[in-house]
């Protein structure tokens, strides 16, 4: 049975027993802007940052390896869970049991392989929002109004986020402001039931933008390697038809655990750098505005 939202945040009864991601009918299917072919050669050496191998997981598929940078600043407990399960080899040979074109690839049911199971670890409390301090710099792309309040839209490292203006931090007890990640293509998030605190092991990798998921699911990472593989897993749902044989994650490893000669060195453009700001300017429309943040890819490379 396909797990779907009936409307907004309300889930069907099927989601009471299966970890779900919402209905694909609400997904924005706009194509992301690809990084210009010559962009890498134009980026100065000091504008690159190394991705910490302790916060990089490598998902090997039939199509190639997808590298996901983890964000403990945003979802520390979920990042710990992903690394724990990867180190147990829990995710090895686990199918993409629910793949929807223009939406997402759902996987992570290492128990039953069909979306009905999880792991033997306890469910996690949601981390939909995070607290952003002044040292968590966000490079602004746009802003929007939420009632009388302005919301900043930009990049924290390579992650697209929405945040209260950091100027408000002086007015809060912890000197931080509220923020959350945005479900753009390449972002990785945690599946759950209609109970917010029910994420366990199932995850989904976004194939396209889905703004209606924002602040409703815990984002824990973003694709920085193998972006071109995100839309290649076969479309279908396990149990929907006998002829559907899903693709799978062959292995999932924390990069830090691999021998030096097997560990890719992944670099991402520093979004706080002048070079990135110039890159953003090059993407402005004829009207002088930036594209939607989900249509901007932060350049990355593998050495």
Give the tens place of pLDDT for each residue, 33-63.
345 555 656 799 999 999 999 999 999 999 9
pTM comes to 0.89
Query: Does the CA dihedral 173-72-83-9 come out positive or negative?
Result: positive
* Predicted confidence (pLDDT) at residue 213 exceeds the cutoff of 80: yes
pLDDT confidence band for 20 (50 / 70 / 90): low
Question: Domain-by-domain residue ranges, the chain?
Answer: 43-302
When pLDDT is cut at 50, 70 and 90, the band that residue 8 belongs to is very low
Q: Per-residue pLDDT averaged across 267-289, rounded? A: 94
Measure the CA angle with vertex 267, ends 266 and 271; round to 5°.
145
Decide if pLDDT at 4 tops 60: no
Checking if the pLDDT of 184 tops 60, the result is: yes
Output the pLDDT for position 146. Answer: 74
Q: Please name the CATH architecture into which domain 43-302 falls.
A: Beta Barrel (2.40)
Using the predicted structure, report yes or no on whether residue 14 has a pLDDT greater than 90.
no
Q: Please tell me the predicted confidence (pLDDT) of residue 13.
A: 33
Q: Identify the pLDDT of residue 34.
A: 41
Mean pLDDT taken over the chain: 88
pLDDT at 33: 37
pLDDT at 145: 79
How far is 200 from 191, CA to CA, in rounded Å? 8
Structure tokens at 88: 């147990």
pLDDT in tens, 104-161: 999 999 999 999 999 999 999 999 999 999 999 999 999 887 777 889 999 999 999 9
The pLDDT value recorded for residue 238 is 87
Q: How many CB atoms lie within 10 A of CB 14?
A: 15
Give DSSP secondary structure letters for the chain. ----EEETTEEPGGGGTS-B---GGG-B-PPPPPPPTTHHHHS-GGGEEEPPGGGEEEEEETTEEEEEEE-TTT-HHHHHHHHHHHHTTTTTTEE--EEETTTEEEE--TTTSSSS---SSPPBPP---EEE-TTS-EEEEEEEEETTEEEEEEEETTEEEEE--GGGGGGSTTS-EEEEE---TTEEEE-B-SSTT-B-S-EEEESSB-GGGTTTS-EEEEEEE-GGGTT-SPPEETTT-TT----EE-EEEEGGGS-GGG---EEEE-TTSHHHHHHHHHT--TTS-PPPGGG-PPPEEE-
pLDDT band at 19 (very low <50, low <70, confident <90, very high): low
């Amino acid at each position: 049975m396909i797990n779907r939202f009936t409307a907004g945040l309300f889930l069907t009864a099927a989601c009471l027993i299966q970890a779900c991601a919402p209905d694909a009918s609400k997904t924005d299917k706009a194509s992301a802007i690809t990084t210009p072919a010559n962009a890498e050669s134009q980026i100065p050496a000091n504008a690159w940052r190394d991705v910490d191998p302790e916060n990089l997981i490598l998902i090997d598929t039939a199509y190639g390896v997808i590298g996901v940078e983890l964000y403990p600043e945003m979802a520390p407990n979920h990042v710990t869970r992903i690394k724990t399960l990867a180190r147990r080899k829990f995710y090895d040979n686990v199918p993409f049991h629910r793949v929807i074109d223009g939406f997402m690839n759902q996987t992570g049911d290492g128990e039953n392989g069909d979306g009905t199971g999880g792991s033997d670890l306890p469910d996690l409390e949601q981390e939909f929002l995070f607290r952003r301090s002044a040292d968590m710099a966000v490079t602004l792309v746009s802003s929007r109004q939420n009632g009388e309040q302005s919301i900043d839209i930009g990049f924290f490292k390579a992650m697209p986020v929405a945040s209260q203006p950091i100027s408000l931090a002086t007015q809060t007890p912890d000197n931080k402001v509220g923020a959350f990640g945005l479900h753009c293509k390449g972002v990785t998030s945690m599946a759950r039931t209609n109970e917010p605190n029910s994420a366990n092991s199932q995850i989904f990798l976004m194939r396209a933008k889905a703004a209606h998921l924002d602040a409703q699911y815990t984002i824990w990472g973003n694709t920085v390697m193998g972006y071109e593989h995100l839309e290649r897993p076969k479309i279908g749902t396990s149990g929907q038809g006998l002829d559907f044989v899903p693709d799978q994650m062959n292995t999932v490893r924390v990069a830090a655990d691999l021998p030096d000669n097997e560990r890719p060195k992944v670099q991402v453009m520093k979004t706080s750098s002048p070079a990135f700001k110039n890159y953003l300017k090059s993407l402005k429309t004829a009207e002088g505005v930036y594209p939607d943040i989900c249509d901007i890819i932060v350049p990355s490379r593998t050495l």
